[in-house]
Amino acid sequence: MVISAAAWLSSGDTSQRLGDGLGDRIAGVAPFAGDDDGDPDIEVPETPSEPQGNQTWTLTEGELNERVRNNPDAFSPASDVRIDLGEGTVTVRFRAYGMNGTYHGSLTTRDGVPVVADSTIDGALGFVVGSSQIDDALNREMASVVEEQNVSVQSVHVRPGQMIFGLS
């Protein structure tokens, strides 16, 4: 069934069946490469191998997930949110509208605050939930952490299980 659906979607005739542009969008490389909300994409500068700044501060994956558990509505409509930090990436596993989804993004800094960039949501859920919704929730959480710590972030480096912030 999956093979025949994939063959049908990748056939050159798809746009006639689904409407102009939709077939190309579905047959594209990524199931959801962002949203069309008019916001400019964030350009991600090359991440230094080590955090830059005079001092560093670390936020662990556990601390970040505890913050999410304490404020579950922050990621609405997503529920059962679990954040995983890998080498250079932030992965958010969640559930919304009866489907499971996986969000992937990277971090950079803007105006002294870490922000998410280059994000996508895998699978069918990426067509329903825009990655900007998860971006916004993560960005609000990062801004809150920075404000609570009363710091200005010069750089951020994501490693397995932790975010290391270079402070200015």
Distance CA 45, CA 117 (A): 10
Number of structural domains found in the chain: 2
Confidence at residue 42, expressed as pLDDT on a 0 to 100 scale: 46
Distance CA 92, CA 133 (A): 12
Confidence at residue 154, expressed as pLDDT on a 0 to 100 scale: 94
* Structural domain boundaries, residue 72: 49-167
Confidence at residue 51, expressed as pLDDT on a 0 to 100 scale: 52
Confidence at residue 49, expressed as pLDDT on a 0 to 100 scale: 47
Q: 1 and 59, same structural domain?
A: no
pTM assigned to the model: 0.67
Show pLDDT as tens, one digit a residue, over the chain (168 residues).
444 444 444 444 433 443 444 334 333 334 334 444 444 444 444 444 455 557 999 999 999 999 999 998 999 889 999 999 999 999 999 999 999 999 999 999 999 999 999 999 998 888 888 899 999 999 999 999 999 999 999 999 999 999 999 998
Q: 87 and 145, same structural domain?
A: yes
Confidence at residue 52, expressed as pLDDT on a 0 to 100 scale: 52
Q: 66 and 22, same structural domain?
A: no
Q: 124 and 72, same structural domain?
A: yes
Q: 55 and 22, same structural domain?
A: no
User: Residue 20 contacts by C-beta under 8 Å, 6 or more apart in sequence?
Assistant: none
